[in-house]
Amino acid sequence: MRAAELTAEEMTLQELRQARKLTQLRMAKALRISQDGVSRLERRTDLLLSTLRKSVEAMGGSLSLIAEFPDRKPVTISGIAGAETARRRRARR
């Protein structure tokens, strides 16, 4: 994937959940937390990467972390907890 395609659209977790046509209750069940917990998670501005990864995976996606620099092409950061596991799962498909 190209970085331009990845950054072409920006959404909050709530907007992403709604775009995926998922309710907070359904997300809560997938994440094994309360509906109120999903609401609080969606309002947070500072999340652990592991929490963000779990949320994205609960929506049916996978999380990639891209670092962008002014003097080079974007770099996908590997070795972050969970990222390698998700990459291996995709490779098996």
pLDDT in tens, 19-50: 999 999 999 999 999 999 999 999 999 999 99
Least confident of 5-14, 25-34, 73-82, 83-92: 83-92
In a domain, 6, yes or no: no
Contacts of 16 (CB under 8 A, 6+ apart): 56, 59
In a domain, 3, yes or no: no
Side-chain-side CA neighbours of residue 53 (13 Å): 14
Q: Is the model's pLDDT at 93 over the cut of 70?
A: no
In a domain, 5, yes or no: no
In a domain, 1, yes or no: no
- CATH number for the domain harbouring residue 84: 1.10.260.40
Counting the structural domains of the chain, the total is 1
Range of the domain at 17: 11-92
